[in-house]
Amino acid sequence: MTDRDFLGIEDWSWVEIERLLALATRVKRGEVEGGLERRIMAMVFLDPSLRTRTSFESAMYLHGGLAVTIEPGAGSWSWELDPDAVMDGTNVENIVEAARVLGRYADVVGIRAFPRGDDWAVAREDRLIRTFAEHCEKPVVNLESARQHPCQALGDTLTIKEKFPEPSGRRFVVSWAYHPKPLPTAVPVSAALAAARLGMDVVIARPDGYEFDPDDTALLRKTIREAGGVLHTTDDMDEACTGADAVYAKSWGSLRDFGRPEAELQRRKDLRDWRLTEERVALTRGGKGLVMHCLPVRRNVEIDADVLDGPNSVVIDQAENRLHVQRALLLTLTGHPAAGDLS
C-alpha cells in the first residue's frame, strides 16, 4: 500500500503520471489482470455521478476487488461537513468520524463534493475534501471537488496521447459554453492543466467575467512554462477554434457571481451563441480538430448534436478511458508490482 492521496493532478510529478498512463495503456490492452483481490474501495458521493461511480465500481470488479458506494442522507446517515459544528441539528454523522471509519474499512477511499455555500473565498479552499483526507488513514481520491477533477484529467490525457502521439506544440482550446446553470470550474481547469503538462499550447476562450480562480491561472501558467507551451486567452470563440487541434467545450460559472444565481443568470442570458457548432469545428486545423467534453453534455446547448455524433467527437473515448486510468490508479495506490514504487 502507498500512503499517497490523489487530490490534484499537480500533486504527482509528471514522471509519476506518465508511469500511471503507461500502466493504463497496458491495462486497456488486457495485459494486466487481477491485483485488487480482497481490496475494497469506499466511495462517498455528496453529489451525483454516472461515469465516475460506474467506472470505479467496474474497475474494482475487473481486478477482483469490491466497491462500496455511500450517498450520505440516502441510505446512510446525513453528514455534518463542519468538523467544529455543534451538532444539535438534523445531521447525524460528522465528516471526521466518517473519514476515520472508512479508512479502517477500505483500502482506498474516494469522495465527490461540488462547491458549497455562497462565498468563493471559502469554497475555493476545498476544505471538505482536504478535511476528509486529513482524517482518513488510507489513500483518498478526489472524485471531483470545487477546484479539480484529477481523474477526468487522467482520462483526458490518455485520450489526447492516443490521438496525438506527439502532442507538444499542438493547439488545445478550453472553451466556455452556454449552460442553463453555473457549473464548477474543476473540469475546465483540470483539462487545461492536463494539456499544459503535455506541452501543448493552451487557449482559454471565455466571455468576460468567466476567468478562472487566480491561483488556478497561476498554476496553469507555471505548468505551461515548465512544459514549454504557450498560454493564450480570448473572448472570441471563433478565434479560439481557428487552427485548433482539439476543442474542449465546457461550461462553468462566473466566480464573480458565485452564490448569486440571479446575477449569474443575468450575466449569461445573452451568451447562447457560445456553442460548439459544425461551422466552428470547420475552423479547426484542417477541419479535423478533436471535439472533447467530460459528459454529461447538454445537446444543442453546449455542443450541437451533429458535432457530438460526428467524426471529430472523442467524448465516448474520453469516458471509456476514465475506466482504464482509474484501474491503473487503483493498482498504483494499492502497490501492485506493475505500477512500480510510488512511496
pLDDT tens digits, residue range 233-243?
Answer: 999 999 999 99
pLDDT for 343 beyond 70: no
* DSSP per-residue letters across 249-279: E-----GGGTT-HHHHHHHHTT-TT--B-HH
Share of the chain above pLDDT 90, in %: 97
pLDDT score of 61 = 98
pLDDT tens digits, residue range 73-87?
Answer: 998 999 999 999 999
pLDDT score of 338 = 83
pLDDT for 291 beyond 60: yes
Averaged pLDDT score across all residues of the chain? 96
Share of the chain above pLDDT 70, in %: 99
Q: How far apart are CA 209 and CA 220, in angstroms?
A: 18
The confidence band for 297, taking pLDDT boundaries of 50, 70 and 90, is very high
pLDDT tens digits, residue range 185-194?
Answer: 999 999 999 9
pLDDT for 246 beyond 70: yes
In this structure, are residues 152 and 329 in contact, taking their beta carbons and an 8 Å threshold?
Answer: no
Across the range 321-337, mean pLDDT stands at 97
pLDDT score of 340 = 75
- Of the candidate ranges 1-10, 66-75, 271-280, the one whose mean pLDDT is the lowest: 1-10
Across the range 324-338, mean pLDDT stands at 95
pLDDT for 90 beyond 70: yes
Across the range 304-326, mean pLDDT stands at 98
Give which of 194, 149, 124, 189 is closest to 52, Cα–Cα: 149
pLDDT for 342 beyond 70: no
pTM, two decimals, is: 0.96
In this structure, are residues 299 and 328 in contact, taking their beta carbons and an 8 Å threshold?
Answer: no
pLDDT for 316 beyond 90: yes
pLDDT score of 259 = 95
Helix axes 186-197, 150-163, angle to 10 degrees: 40
Give which of 30, 42, 27 is closest to 72, Cα–Cα: 42
pLDDT score of 3 = 78
pLDDT for 151 beyond 70: yes
Q: Match 453546449 to its residue by C-alpha cell.
A: 302
Across the range 167-174, mean pLDDT stands at 98
Q: How far apart are CA 1 and CA 312, in angstroms?
A: 40
Three-state DSSP state, 114: coil
The one-letter code for the residue type at 313 is S
Across the range 16-37, mean pLDDT stands at 97
pLDDT for 288 beyond 90: yes
- Set out the domains of the chain in order of their start, with CATH numbers: 9-148+322-339 (3.40.50.1370), 150-318 (3.40.50.1370)
